[in-house]
Amino acid sequence: MSENFFKENKEWSRYKDFILDYYLKPYLEKVKLLNRPILLIDCCAGPGMFDDGSKGSPLIISERIEGLYNRGVDVRGLFIEKKRGFYSKLQSNLEPYTAFAEPKHGNFTDCLEDIKQSTRTSTVFLYVDPYGIKELPFSDLAGIYGSIEEHNASVEALLNFNSPALVRCGLAALKMDTSGFDLNTDDESIPEMPGNMMAMTPAEVDAIEGGEYWRHIVSDSSLTFIQKEQAISEEYAQQMGKYFPWVCSFPIQKSYGRFPKYRLIYGTRHQDGILLMNNTMYRAREQFLNQEFASGRLFDLRPPEESKDLSMFANRLFDITKEKEPISRKNLKLEAMREFFCHYSESDYNQAVSNLLKGFEGLRLYSHSGRTRINDDVLLSTKPFGQQ
């Protein structure tokens, strides 16, 4: 399977590439202002390029680094690949970028100490994109996340989290029936499923999940497979939330209504990170929905639950302001994003607030500046300032 993986870049993998690529540009522009060296680590790099010529993450990352490096910024990439054959290809694919891109042969879990050391001096972005779940041990990753607090470091992580595989492995580990859950059999995106992953012990699944919480979810017969997948993903995000104040996840589907193939889970300490990632994932989602429901059609036929509800959205923004007032526009966005992550763009937020400042469907917000055109720092309230 691993040989086949790089034959061609699958449609759903392109979303992951889009998200990585789109996010890195504004991310790098932001973190360069911290005036610390920047290190991007691709923990499961692969060969760098697919046989069909499409770029893998090492090339996507290197191209993003190149622009900044050429402007004199101290930024580099570390690309770790454990398979010798892929590593050789990676070396040659990274040749144009040797000034700032270092290929490394080995298992990324053997590099954890070095990575931890880097977080002392550098701003670190970790990208972990394994085939399945076995290579995603929570405890190892948590060692890196832990150094965030220790050194007040700037670390962000973007993980490919194969939640469906985890549910199936969990079922198998608890010796429960997995036959009713033979999903996604038409593709090879869950390669290890039939073999070594299905033979995992509960303790091995604990190590990947970062706890035993998965056991009660998986064995809860009142939950469907999809509900189990969602619950496990939410719990996993909560585990990451012990280290990152902001964690969000984005399901990658093959087509609408289908089970997610996997989720991208992102953790950051920075408010700006979550704002950037919201915009990035919003765009990926819009692209997906357009492709499913609008492309080649006269009208956008997306289902109502996928359409923006600007009235409901403005109402929620009003309610959140009322709960937290006075609240800056930025904090209002961040609060609302916990509910609406990747469903509305930042300009939707700005527009909704601007509408509310002028009066919208009987609701009215007031700005501290008294203006309706405001920036993110301006405080908002449901009562005029000075009359509170």
Residues in the site for ligand SAM, rule: CB under 6 A? 2, 5, 44, 46, 56-57, 80-83, 86, 107-109, 129-131, 135
What CA–CA distance (Å, rounded) separates 50 from 10? 10
We find the least distance from the C-beta atom of residue 286 to ligand SAM, in angstroms, to be 22
Distance CA 350, CA 371 (A): 13
Where would I find the H helices in 126-270? 138-150, 163-173, 202-209, 213-218, 225-240
Residue carrying the six token digits 């819009």: 286
How far apart (Å, rounded) are the C-alpha atoms in residues 172 and 188?
Answer: 19
Whole-number Å distance between alpha carbons of 359 and 314: 11
Distances (CA, A) of 13 to 9, 110, 264: 6, 27, 11
131/344 with CB nearer ligand SAM: 131
When the beta carbons of 108 and 340 are compared against ligand SAM, the nearer one is: 108
Encode 194-228: b = buried (16+ Cβ within 10 Å), e = exposed.
eeebeebebebbbbbbbeebbbebbeeeebebeeb
Q: In the complex with ligand SAM, which residue's Cβ is closer, 191 or 267?
A: 191
Minimal distance, residue 60 CB to ligand SAM, in Å:
7
Pairwise CA distance, residues 340 & 278, whole Å:
9
Which CB sits closer to ligand SAM, 93 or 278?
93
Minimum Å gap between C-beta 245 and ligand SAM is 26
Structure tokens at 254: 């093959």
Minimum distance of ligand SAM from residue 7's CB (angstroms): 12
CB of 34 to ligand SAM, least distance (A): 26
As beta bridge partners, residue 253 has: 260
Residue 24 or 44 with smaller CB distance to ligand SAM: 44
Return the DSSP state at 125. E
- Which of 91, 85, 84, 159 is CA-nearest to residue 128? 159
- What tokens were used for 341? 């992550």
Minimum CB separation of residue 46 from ligand SAM in Å reads 4
Query: Based on CB atoms, which residue is closest to ligand SAM, 56 or 260?
Result: 56
**Minimum CB distance to ligand SAM, residue 166 (Å):** 16
Residue nearest ligand SAM, CB atom distance: 56
User: Nearer Cβ to ligand SAM, position 25 or 83?
Assistant: 83
Question: In a 3-state reduction of DSSP, which class is residue 15?
Answer: helix
Is 250 or 360 the residue whose CB approaches ligand SAM more closely?
Answer: 250
Q: How far is the CB of 238 from ligand SAM (least distance, A)?
A: 24
Give the residue from 75, 259, 246, 113 showing the smallest Cα distance to 184: 259
